[in-house]
Amino acid sequence: DTEVTQTPKHLVMGMTNKKSLKCEQHMGHRAMYWYKQKAKKPPELMFVYSYEKLSINESVPSRFSPECPNSSLLNLHLHALQPEDSALYLCASMIQPGANVLTFGAGSRLTVL
Amino acid sequence: KQEVTQIPAALSVPEGENLVLNCSFTDSAIYNLQWFRQDPGKGLTSLLLIQSSQREQTSGRLNASLDKSSGRSTLYIAASQPGDSATYLCAVVNSGGSNYKLTFGKGTLLTVNP
């Protein structure tokens, strides 16, 4: 298995909803990333987990809450989001931090109404 | 603070042409540089990774070069095809400190016309 799988592909939520994005990889990668990408912009780093521990939080608002339950799974919990949070959320993984190719999932397209 | 610039922002070529995409970075103390391809609304696909000690990498019709001292990389695409149409992004990882963070350029939107 050489993929990073993200679910759901599309998510529409209201500003009072609580939802989660899920990311899974079975390549034995020990670094996992969340990126946010707005249209026609490059990806912006949100969080990095290294060996299941949060190692980087790029000053992301607390309405985004990451979780890494095990080495294969990464979640992004969403609560009280704003319309400007609508974007493509990309998960990525790497064998070990900084060393190698970054493998991206196909993304979850989030729309906040 | 590392800044990555890609020129041109958009490029349109006829099928069969050879083309060069450019990437420059302000801090030459990098660990590696990676070129990605992104199709509309999709995730990024890694094309080539060049470590700081390397000068170039090749994969099929793609060749990426790195001149770390001048802060430049180029992606050469030979015999372009309509299927090459996509946005191409370069990203660098700085050496020292955290090796986790990639700094991306804004990308070059490539259109190859049949």
Instruction: Choose among A34, A40, A42, A43: nearest CA to A6.
Output: A34
Q: Is B89 in Cβ contact with A42 (below 8 Å)?
A: yes
Pick the residue from chain A with its C-alpha nearest to B89. Answer: A42
Q: Is A105 in Cβ contact with B42 (below 8 Å)?
A: no
Cβ-Cβ contacts under 8 Å, A100 against chain B: 49
Q: φ, ψ for residue A67 (rounded to 5)?
A: -150, 140
Reported as a single tens digit per residue, the pLDDT across A30-83 is: 999 999 999 989 999 999 999 999 998 999 999 999 999 999 999 999 999 999
Given a cut of 80, whether residue A97 has pLDDT beyond it is: no
Reported as a single tens digit per residue, the pLDDT across A69-82 is: 999 999 999 999 99
**Span B31-54, mean pLDDT?**
92
Given a cut of 90, whether residue B94 has pLDDT beyond it is: no
- Residue in B31, B34, B101 nearest the CB of A45: B101
